[in-house]
Amino acid sequence: MAKRVAVIGSGVSGLTSIKCCLDEGLQPTCFERSNDIGGLWRFKEKVEEGRASIYQSVFTNSSKEMSCFSDFPMPEHFPNFLHNTRFLEYLKLYAKRFDLLKYIRFKIIFLVDQLQLVRETCFRASIEEELCINSKACVSHQQKLVQ
């Protein structure tokens, strides 16, 4: 049976973690506290608790060749440096291309600090939901690795 992996957050790191798990024959479940993918690249006028955000006028300061995932180049017609809406569009194209959305459970906060080992190999995913994961947790941005 494929090992199950928890991925926390569906920003850049989380999306590519899901993809890597699938490439390796693992079974990922991603927990995203907000209601959509993109992490800080999804600009909102109103700041959401627990989710970093860029400001409205941000353009990438890394080129599209340097910023893209190695297995998914940016579309030719994209400019070299992207407005944040374009970068978010790219992330959505990536998720669509590799059919990643079905592995993401939105509006679930993975409580890393309050994580309790339910059994040796099982993690408590949130107050409301418990889920047994027979593997390690992959974590995205600024979260510590929990084994």
Ligand X SMILES: Cc1cc2nc3c(=O)[nH]c(=O)nc-3n(C[C@H](O)[C@H](O)[C@H](O)COP(=O)(O)OP(=O)(O)OC[C@H]3O[C@@H](n4cnc5c(N)ncnc54)[C@H](O)[C@@H]3O)c2cc1C
SS3 68: coil
* Pick from 14, 4, 3, 7: nearest CA to 95: 14
The verdict on 115 binding ligand X (CB under 6 A) reads no
The verdict on 63 binding ligand X (CB under 6 A) reads no
Q: Is 20 exposed, middle or buried (0-12, 13-18, 19+ CB in 10 A)?
A: middle
Of 13, 28, 88, 100, which lies in the binding site for ligand X, with binding defined by CB under 6 A?
13
Of 49, 50, 70, 102, which lies in the binding site for ligand X, with binding defined by CB under 6 A?
50
Of 4, 5, 7, 14, which lies in the binding site for ligand X, with binding defined by CB under 6 A?
14
- The H-or-E segment that residue 105 falls in is strand 104-106
CB of 90: closest distance to ligand X in angstroms?
A: 11
Of the chain, the end-to-end C-alpha distance in Å amounts to: 20
The verdict on 70 binding ligand X (CB under 6 A) reads no
What would the two tokens of residue 85 be? 């809406």
- Binding track over 76-105 against ligand X, x by CB under 6 A: ------------------------------
Please check whether residue 115 is in contact with residue 144, taking contact to mean a CB–CB distance below 8 angstroms: no
The verdict on 34 binding ligand X (CB under 6 A) reads yes
* Interface with ligand X (CB under 6 A): 8-14, 31-34, 39-41, 50-52, 54, 58, 60-62, 67, 109-110, 112, 140-141
